[in-house]
Amino acid sequence: KAGVTQTPRYLIKTRGQQVTLSCSPISGHRSVSWYQQTPGQGLQFLFEYFSETQRNKGNFPGRFSGRQFSNSRSEMNVSTLELGDSALYLCASSSGQVNSYEQYFGPGTRLTVT
């Protein structure tokens, strides 16, 4: 079974621009979560989507948003980029079933904001 894929792997943007990152979960998985990883703040939860609905959200400003499509693929968008948004953005996939808790991570998208 193919793992979680994320595109693009690397991205360089300018402050004030917006960016869209994409994640394809493991086949059959319906839950996608996003995390931001930075040296200063570590791994922080952004949001979780299940069946096209956001069912959990972390403590991030409204500039961070996401969505999920009917095929479970997910995108996250960051508008009005700031230098502090430079990070590794990780997508995690899980089945989303009641008794399933483990999450499987993709390789991440490295975003650099200049």
We find the least distance from the C-beta atom of residue 55 to other proteins, in angstroms, to be 4
Residue 39-58 contact track with other proteins, rule CB under 8 A, x = bound = ---xx-x--x-x----xx-x
CB 23 within 8 A of CB 67: no
What distance in Å separates the CA atoms of residue 58 and residue 38, rounded to the nearest whole number?
A: 15
Query: How many other CB atoms are there within 10 angstroms of residue 56's CB atom?
Result: 12
Residues forming the site for other proteins (CB under 8 A): 4, 6, 31, 33, 35, 42-43, 45, 48, 50, 55-56, 58, 90, 92, 94, 98, 101-108, 110
